A = this chain, B = another copy of it.
Amino acid sequence: MSEDRLIYLPLGGAGEIGMNCYVYGYGKPGAERLIVVDLGVTFPDMDGTPGVDLILPDITWLKENRNRIDAIFITHAHEDHVGAVGHCFEQLGAPIHARAFTANIARGKLSEYGIGEKAVRTASKWPETVQAGPFRVGFLPISHSIPESSALVIDSPAGRVIHTGDFKLDTQPLVGEPWDPALWSEVARPGVLALVCDSTNVFSEHPGRSESSVGPEVEALVAGAKQMVVATTFASNVARVKTLAEAGERAGRSICLLGRAMRRMIEAAVETGVLTSFPKVIAPEDVTQIPRENVMLIVTGSQGERRAASAQLARGKFNGIEMKEGDLFLFSSKTIPGNERGVIRIMNMFSEQGVDVIDDSGGRYHVSGHANRPDLETVQDLVQPQIVVPMHGEHRHLREHVKLTQARGRKGVLAVNGMMIELSGNAPRVVEHVETGRTYLDGSVQIGALDGVVRDRIRMALNGHVVVTVILDEEDAPLGDPWCDLKGLPETGRSHAPLTDVLEEDLSQFIGRAGDKTLADDDKLEEGLVRVVRNTCQSEIGKKPEVTVVVSRLA
C-alpha cells in the first residue's frame, strides 16, 4: 500500500524554449489527480519541419489519463504557453483557468475550433484560488513582457509549489502588475516545497532592465525622425506598444496599428481593462491622408515573418502604405535565434528603399521579459524553496540553473520533458519516464513527429524525386519502355544528354536483362529499378535522388 505523492511532469518546455506544457499530480502512484499548466506551441522551420504549420506538444500521455485531469491553468497569453489550447482542448476536456487578459486570448483560439466561451473560466488573482481536485491554485501576479503574467501557487497536501511561469523582476512594467517582493515574501512564508522556475536568461549576468527604461530612448529617437516612423515589436508586449505609441504621440504623430495580431492584442488589453489609456489610433486607410512626417506606424513582424506587416512593407505596399527614402524603421525587439536570416532580409529590403533601420544592437530600444541570473538568485533567496526545478529552457539553461541553485546550497533538479519527478518524500527523484515528443499541425491534420512524413519531405528537398513508371502485361512482359519523371533535379549531367533520356535508357536495359522472376515480383523489380536510378544519377549528377516506382500490371 503506497502513499500519496506529489509529482511534476514536463511534457514540453523543459529542454527547449517553447511549447510549454507541465503536469502536476497528487495521489496514489499511477492514480494521481492531475492539473495541466500551459498548453503552448513552438514554431516550425525549413531545416527540420518544412511545410508544418505549428508544433504542439505530444499529449498522448494526457489523453490516456484524461479522466484524471481536473483542470488546465494558463499562466499568460504568449503563444508558447497558450497557443495549443484550441488544438488540444477537446482531447483533454478539462476546464481552462486563466486571468482575464489571458482568458480573452484563449477564448479567441478556442472559438476557431467552435468551442464556446465557457470552456475558459476567468480567475481572479491571489489571494483568490481555484480548487482543482486535491490542488488549490492561485494566480500570483508577476511582471513579464505581456499583461497579467502570473506565477501559480499550487497547494496540495504535500506542500506548496510555486510555478513561476515566465517572469522578470520589474517594479515599473508600465502595463500590468509590478514585481512585488512583499507579496511574494508573504506567499513564501508558510514554506515552499518547490520553486519551478523560468530559466531563459540564466546566462545573462547583469540584473534585468525595466520596461520603463525603453521609453526615453524611443522618445528621443522618434523626436529626431524626419519622415515616417515605423516600429515593430511583439504585439503581445502591450506595454511596449503603448510606449511606442506614446512616443509617437508626444512627437505630434498620428498612430496607426498594422497587422492583425497588433490590433487584436490592444483590443484584448482594452476589453479586459489592463490597458486604461492608449493614444488615439487612425485607420490604415487614413494614413496616406496625413503628411508622412506626422505618422507613426506600429506593426507586426519583429521576427521577420514573411506574412507580417513589416515584411509586406519591405516588399512594397501594405494597406496602401509605402515606405520611402528617409523613413525610419525601428526593431524594438530582439531577434530570436533562428530568425536572423528573415530579419536581415527585411533590413536589406528597407535599405534598398532608402529607409534607415535601427535595431536593438545597442541595447537601447528593447529589454528582455525574462529574469536574468541575479534576478533568479533574488527570487530563490526570497522564496527559500526546499527544491528548485528549472523549466522553460534548453538543456544548457536547465543545467546552468541547477548549478546556480546548488551553489546557493539548495537542491536543484534537472528534469527534461518526459521525466516524472516526485517532489514529495525525502528527496526529489525520477519515478517514471513518459514518452513525449512533438505533434505537427500540418494543414488541418495533426501528425506525429516520427511518422516519417516530414522526413520524406526533407529527403525530397535534399535529393530531388524521380518517379519511374513501368507497365507489364498479363504475362509480366514489359509493355513499352519504362519512363521517368524528374522533380527537383537538373536536366542534364555529366554526359550532357537529358538526364531523363539517360535514365530511361539504363532502365530499359535493366528491364531487357531482367529475368522472369524479377519481372513477376513487384518488390524485386522495384528494388532493381531504384538501384538503376540511384546509380545512374550518382554517375551523371553526383547525387542519389528519392525514387518512387509505379509498376502497373494489366490484369
**A384 on the B face (CB < 8 A):** no
Give, as a whole number of angstroms, the nearest-CB distance from A470 to chain B: 10
In Å, the complex CA distance between A554 and B399 comes to 66
Chain A positions 392 through 410: 1 when the CB is less than 8 Å from some CB of chain B, otherwise 0: 0011100100000000000
Check A203–B51 contact: CB distance below 8 A: no
A344's partner among B337, B361, B451, B465 (CB-CB below 8 A) is B337
Query: Chain B residues near A362 (CB, 8 Å)?
Result: 205
**Main secondary structure on A side of the interface with B:** mixed
Check A344–B394 contact: CB distance below 8 A: yes
Interface with B: A57-65, A80-88, A223-231, A441-449, which one?
A441-449
**A532 on the B face (CB < 8 A):** no
**A213 on the B face (CB < 8 A):** no
Check A462–B396 contact: CB distance below 8 A: no
Chain A positions 456-494 with a Cβ under 8 Å from a chain B Cβ: 456-458, 460-465, 467, 469, 471, 479-480, 483, 485, 487-494
Check A465–B465 contact: CB distance below 8 A: yes
**A521 on the B face (CB < 8 A):** no
Query: Chain B residues near A494 (CB, 8 Å)?
Result: 444-445
A555's partner among B352, B480, B483, B488 (CB-CB below 8 A) is B480
Known interface pairs A464-B457, A465-B465, A542-B443; A351-B395 also in contact (CB < 8 Å) = yes
A479's partner among B341, B453, B550, B554 (CB-CB below 8 A) is B554
Give, as a whole number of angstroms, the nearest-CB distance from A393 to chain B: 10
| Most chain B CB inside 10 Å of its own CB: which residue of A454, A464, A485, A548 | A464
Query: Chain B residues near A464 (CB, 8 Å)?
Result: 51, 453, 456-457
Chain A positions 397-448 with a Cβ under 8 Å from a chain B Cβ: 399, 442-445, 447
Check B203–A361 contact: CB distance below 8 A: yes
With both beta carbons as reference points, the residue of chain B lying nearest to A50 in the complex is identified as B461
A488's partner among B344, B457, B462, B493 (CB-CB below 8 A) is B457
Query: Chain B residues near A552 (CB, 8 Å)?
Result: 469, 471, 480, 552
Query: Chain B residues near A483 (CB, 8 Å)?
Result: 550
Check B340–A338 contact: CB distance below 8 A: yes
Give, as a whole number of angstroms, the nearest-CB distance from A6 to chain B: 27
Check A489–B453 contact: CB distance below 8 A: yes
Known interface pairs A47-B46, A458-B461; A444-B348 also in contact (CB < 8 Å) = no
In Å, the complex CA distance between A443 and B485 comes to 19
Query: Chain B residues near A456 (CB, 8 Å)?
Result: 464, 487-488
Give, as a whole number of angstroms, the nearest-CB distance from A536 to chain B: 12
Check B394–A461 contact: CB distance below 8 A: no
Check A395–B352 contact: CB distance below 8 A: yes
Check A487–B469 contact: CB distance below 8 A: no
**A292 on the B face (CB < 8 A):** no
| Most chain B CB inside 10 Å of its own CB: which residue of A443, A447, A457, A541 | A443
In Å, the complex CA distance between A507 and B488 comes to 25
Chain A positions 537 through 550: 1 when the CB is less than 8 Å from some CB of chain B, otherwise 0: 00001110010101
**A322 on the B face (CB < 8 A):** no
Query: Chain B residues near A15 (CB, 8 Å)?
Result: 348
Known interface pairs A344-B337, A447-B490; A461-B51 also in contact (CB < 8 Å) = yes
With both beta carbons as reference points, the residue of chain B lying nearest to A463 in the complex is identified as B51
With both beta carbons as reference points, the residue of chain B lying nearest to A342 in the complex is identified as B47
In Å, the complex CA distance between A483 and B341 comes to 41
**A265 on the B face (CB < 8 A):** no
Query: Chain B residues near A354 (CB, 8 Å)?
Result: 399
Check B453–A348 contact: CB distance below 8 A: no
In Å, the complex CA distance between A417 and B487 comes to 30
A542's partner among B45, B444, B491, B555 (CB-CB below 8 A) is B444
**A357 on the B face (CB < 8 A):** yes
Check B469–A550 contact: CB distance below 8 A: yes
**A347 on the B face (CB < 8 A):** yes
Known interface pairs A490-B453, A543-B442, A552-B471; A461-B348 also in contact (CB < 8 Å) = no
If A354-B399, A460-B460 are given as contacts, then 7 extra A-B residue pairs at C-beta distance below 8 Å, sorted by A number, are A45-B341, A340-B340, A444-B543, A445-B490, A445-B492, A460-B488, A480-B555
18 contacts between A and B (CB under 8 A): A46-B46, A51-B463, A51-B543, A337-B341, A347-B394, A348-B394, A350-B396, A351-B394, A445-B542, A451-B491, A454-B488, A456-B464, A456-B487, A457-B461, A460-B461, A465-B465, A480-B552, A550-B550
Task: Give 9 closest A-B pairs by Cβ, nearest first.
Answer: A444-B542, A443-B542, A443-B543, A461-B461, A457-B488, A50-B461, A351-B396, A337-B340, A460-B460
